[in-house]
């Protein structure tokens, strides 16, 4: 993850990815998409 816009955590065997851009609701950038795919790969 490059700029903190995609957060990734694992707790008790459960992984959670959070899209974190509260200033831009529902906006997904190409970089965020790449970070998300990297987190779930």
Q: Tokens in use for 32?
A: 């965020």
Each residue's pLDDT tens digit, 27-36: 788 888 888 8
pLDDT of residue 14: 94
**What does the pLDDT look like over 7-17, one tens digit per residue?**
888 999 998 88
Q: Model pTM greater than 0.75? A: no
DSSP 19: E
For residues 13 and 2, give the distance between their C-alpha atoms in angstroms, rounded to a whole number: 24
């Amino acid at each position: 993850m490059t700029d903190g816009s995609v957060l990734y955590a694992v707790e008790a065997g459960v992984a959670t990815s959070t899209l974190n851009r509260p200033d831009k609701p529902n906006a997904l950038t190409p970089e965020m998409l790449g970070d998300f795919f990297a987190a779930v790969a």
